[in-house]
Amino acid sequence: MRISIIVLLLLSLVACSSLKPPLHPAAKYDADSYLAMAREQEAVGDISAAIKSYSYASGLYSSCADIEGKLSCMAGLGRIAITEGKQKAYQDIANDMKLLVMDTNPVLDYHLLLLKLYELQTRHDYAALSETAMDKTHYPLYARLQISTIKLQADSYLGKSTDSEAKELLGFSKQYRKLLKKQNQHNPELLSAAWHALAYHYYLNEYYTNAKKYISYACDWDYLSGNYKGLGHGYWLKGQIEARQKDKTAALANLRRAEIIFEALQDSAAIQAVKGEIARVKGETP
């Protein structure tokens, strides 16, 4: 009996020594799940649910002092405040984020930058976007990808995008795609937005083969990830590219796909714009 007890004790010690400690507390894993859910809810317009998920995730991050996670939740609530036109709520959130960054880790200031860029995007202030979207080498890849995407997109609208900007964004997008293959907690919409920005740059500069290549990537990605607003804009640009390539049949098909999606999303401004493009492809208007 004495020997068997010793054996059991030795086995228990071996078992305990072989257990690997968790990388993070359970609260962080739960918070990451709620944050991902909140982003999905925000993307599909389920604002009420998104607010609840962001708020709950923020509380979980707070319980383990995960500042970056908490900032991500605050940024999500800030974007919703901007979308709903609640300027005071947005300013309060931005001020709280700024104070938190200053008091804990100034390197996390990219959360403030991304939120500011979102605000400028909603106002279509491309000049300000171009000036504000300044990348820093110490930013994490997902932030650099977003900043580079916004910069190229704004400069394209302003007619001053460059091939060097596109090359830099292409490099970030390739790195991010590798991460997506390894880890599923990253945001696939960031990659499709990058491809869309690249396609638009190439379209404006008449590199139609490259433009169609990257917008096709974006459409496939948005279709699989359920980003239907992005898919609608992707089909719209794809139709414009094909119209420039004199492929009227393909152009019309993709423009109609875009129109159908925008009708389902009840995006009246996009519907009217696509209808105008369809009329031009059909030769009904100049």
pLDDT at residue 203 in the model: 97
Is residue 180 very low, low, confident or very high in pLDDT (cuts 50, 70, 90)?
confident
The total domain count for the chain is 1
Q: Look up the CATH number of the domain holding residue 106.
A: 1.25.40
pLDDT at residue 281 in the model: 94
In a domain, 79, yes or no: yes
Distance CA 10, CA 60 (A): 38
Residue 154, pLDDT > 60, answer: yes
In a domain, 203, yes or no: no
pLDDT at residue 7 in the model: 53
In a domain, 88, yes or no: yes
In a domain, 148, yes or no: no
In a domain, 160, yes or no: no
Helices then strands, each counted (H, E), the chain: 14, 0
- When pLDDT is averaged across residues 14-38 and rounded to a whole number, the result is 74
Residue 153, pLDDT > 60, answer: yes
Distance CA 279, CA 273 (A): 10
pLDDT at residue 232 in the model: 97
Nearest residue to 49 via CA among 41, 57, 58: 41
Q: 0.75 exceeded by the pTM?
A: yes
Residue 175, pLDDT > 70, answer: yes
In a domain, 53, yes or no: yes
Residue 286, pLDDT > 90, answer: no
pLDDT at residue 277 in the model: 94
Cα atoms in the 13 Å half-sphere on the side-chain side of 260:
8
Nearest residue to 58 via CA among 48, 47, 73: 73
Phi/psi for 135 (5° steps) reads: -80, 150
Is residue 285 very low, low, confident or very high in pLDDT (cuts 50, 70, 90)?
confident
Q: What pLDDT digit, counting tens, does each position of 37-62 carry?
A: 999 899 888 999 999 999 999 999 99
Phi/psi for 274 (5° steps) reads: -70, -35
In a domain, 280, yes or no: no
Is residue 29 very low, low, confident or very high in pLDDT (cuts 50, 70, 90)?
confident
Is residue 28 very low, low, confident or very high in pLDDT (cuts 50, 70, 90)?
confident
In a domain, 176, yes or no: no
Residues 6+ apart with CB under 8 A from 211: 199, 200, 202, 203, 237, 241
Eight-class DSSP state of 21: P
Estimate to the nearest angstrom the gap between the alpha carbon of 161 and the chain centroid: 21
Q: What pLDDT digit, counting tens, does each position of 92-127 carry?
A: 999 999 999 999 999 999 999 999 999 999 999 999
pLDDT at residue 8 in the model: 52
Q: Which domain holds residue 51?
A: 28-123
pLDDT at residue 221 in the model: 92
Average pLDDT along the chain: 91
Cα atoms in the 13 Å half-sphere on the side-chain side of 19:
7
Residue 1, pLDDT > 70, answer: no
* C-alpha to C-alpha distances, 66 to 13, 41, 260, nearest whole angstrom: 33, 22, 43
Residue 22, pLDDT > 70, answer: no
Task: Name which of 65-74, 81-90, 218-227 the model is least confident about.
Answer: 218-227
Is residue 223 very low, low, confident or very high in pLDDT (cuts 50, 70, 90)?
very high
